[in-house]
Amino acid sequence: MKRRDFMMAGTVAASGALLLQGMSEVAHARGAEPRRAATSPSAQTKVAAPGGQVSVTTPNGTTLPWQYLKGVKVGHLIAAPLQHEFAPGLKGECWGYNGRTIGPTIEAVEGDRVRIYVTNHLPEPTSLHWHGVLLPNGMDGVAGLTQKAIAPGDTFKYEFTFTRPGTFMYHPHYDEMTQMALGMVGMIVVHPRAPHGPHVDRDFVLMTHEWKIRAGASRPDPGAMLDFNVLTFNSKAYPGTEPLVVERGERVRIRLGNLSAMDHHPIHLHGYYFNVTATDGGYIPPAGQWPETTVLVPVGSTRTIEFVADVPGDWAMHCHMTHHVMNQMGHDVPVMLGADAKRISRRVRAVVPAYMAMGENGMGEMGDMGMPIPPNSIPMVGGKGPFGTIDMGGMFTILKVRDDARSEDGTGWHRHPEGSVATSASATDLAADSIDPSRKAGEQG
């Protein structure tokens, strides 16, 4: 039944031009019944596979639309240069698929026959590798090894069947260093024919990635090996990342992928523990799953986690490498911490009047200083939060758990119950608990 509905939607979306303009929403709107409409926060929660499996949401991204032709799902990926906004204030000259990075998420069901055309509008050859997908060797997309490279202007046809469910990725296998550094990555979600485990209400994909863009420049540096300074979920750096909005009590699945050049990412979720339920190798049987609050996502791997979002709030989710939650941090500057800034300023301002000492007390307030910086750069920029500046950037996003998710458009903040927010201690509190703030550190033993 479902399958036929999809095919009907497919005929509506037959136009190739429309295909590239995010027809998936149209297809879903027409072809899928909204599930639990009363509590669903948006129209994006739709059934994508048998057993009521919901379609995946790609924050800041889209899903590749299909044409349904004689039992084959037909898609088209166009590799081309594009301009991408990493966060407000930082645009980059990138490469990607169908006008975006990350490329549209390829969503299919176990057993689907797919035919994907790949057109190369890049200035150099490319190829497409279906990372983790089991398929005929000639479809594996390794230029030179299993196929010819796709020359600029040429279009290749890949056709295979998704024989195993899981979370996979796609990327070029020609000049990967350049093409992936510039943004040519995407996620693949293959739903099982029959769902595994408990019913999942929200299914997100987050691709981690890392870039080097010098402050004021706009071209990611493909030669970077160590000093990456823009870290992203789905090619967005906080505050450019869309929050994950869920309703209290929903079971949430997050599929994490990593196509960074050089770094594994320990992704930490606040407020919950979760189970790692799958890797790109497949589903982990319940007996093999283990609880975590941080999951390490190695380069070239996917990890799927699930949890029940039963505590409302604005919960941070981020890579726990501190340099991965900064935007365009410079790494080759003298340490100013603890230095007598007045002594320095007096001398330096005598010759450079615009000079302002920075960092002598730490760097937490850098984003609020408002000093002129190079255009198209977001060094130290954070986001605005309900209690002030959120001085984080990069691979950082927020899980927003709401009692009524429909009331949340993504910009709101959690309403804390009275007395449940940490505040400056009152004198009464201090006295009652015999806390003496004037006591020097170290005296307590």
Partner 1 sequence: MECRWVEKNTGRVMRISRVVRTELVAPLSLLLAACVSQSTARDYGAVREMTAARVDFRLPEQQMEVGRDDVDADVRALLKLPLTEQSAIRIALLNNHDLRAELGSLGIARGQLVQGSLLPNPEFEAAVLPPTKTGNTTDWDLGAGIDLTSLILRGQRSGIGEAEVEAARARVAAAVLELGFHVRTAYYSVLASSQRLELMQTALAAFAAGYETARTLRAAGNTTELDLATERAAYEAARVAVSEAEADLLDDRERLNVLLGVHGSETAWTVAQRLPEIPAQLPDQAHLESRAIDASLELAETRALLKAMSRRVGLAENSGWLPDLSVGVRAQRDSGEWNVGPAVHGTLPIFNRQQGGVITNQARFDQLRDHYVAIAVEVRSAVRAARNRTASAQQRAQHYRDVLLPARQEVLKQATLQYNAMQIGVFQLLQARRDQLDAARGYIETLREYWRTRAQLDQVLAGGLAGSVGPMSSEQSRGGALSSTSALAD
Three-state helix/strand/coil letters over 54-108: ECCECCCCCECCCEEECCEEEEEEEEEEEEEEEECCEEEEEEEECCECCCCEEEE
Residue placing its CB nearer to partner 1 in the complex, 335 or 441 = 335
Residue placing its CB nearer to partner 1 in the complex, 138 or 330 = 330
With binding defined as CB under 8 A, does residue 418 bind partner 1?
no
Q: 366 to 385, contacts with partner 1 by CB under 8 A?
A: 366, 371-374, 377, 379-380
For the residues of 178-242, what is the DSSP string, one character each?
Answer: HHHHTT--EEEEEE-SS--SS--SEEEEEEEEEE---TT--S--TT-SS---EEEETTB-BTSSP
Residue placing its CB nearer to partner 1 in the complex, 308 or 373 = 373
Residue placing its CB nearer to partner 1 in the complex, 226 or 351 = 351
Residue placing its CB nearer to partner 1 in the complex, 308 or 358 = 358
Contacts of 435 (CB under 8 A, 6+ apart): 425, 429
202-241 mask for partner 1 (x: CB under 8 A)? ------------xxx-------------------------
Evaluate whether 270 touches 311 at the Cβ level (below 8 Å): no
Residue placing its CB nearer to partner 1 in the complex, 225 or 356 = 356
Write down the least CB distance from residue 329 to partner 1, Å: 7
Contacts of 48 (CB under 8 A, 6+ apart): 32, 54, 55, 56, 107, 109, 191
Evaluate whether 366 touches 373 at the Cβ level (below 8 Å): no
Write down the least CB distance from residue 344 to partner 1, Å: 5
Evaluate whether 260 touches 299 at the Cβ level (below 8 Å): yes
Q: 118 to 137, contacts with partner 1 by CB under 8 A?
A: none
313-342 mask for partner 1 (x: CB under 8 A)? ---------------xxx-xxxxxxxxx--
Write down the least CB distance from residue 232 to partner 1, Å: 19
CA atoms of 72 and 41, how far apart (whole Å): 32
Write down the least CB distance from residue 275 to partner 1, Å: 40
Helix (H) or strand (E) segment spanning residue 256: strand 250-258
Strand partners, 26: none
- Candidates 159, 358, 365, 389; binder of partner 1 (CB under 8 A) is 358
Residue placing its CB nearer to partner 1 in the complex, 124 or 360 = 360
- Binding residues vs partner 1 (CB under 8 A): 214-216, 328-330, 332-340, 343-344, 347-348, 350-352, 354-356, 358-359, 363, 366, 371-374, 377, 379-380
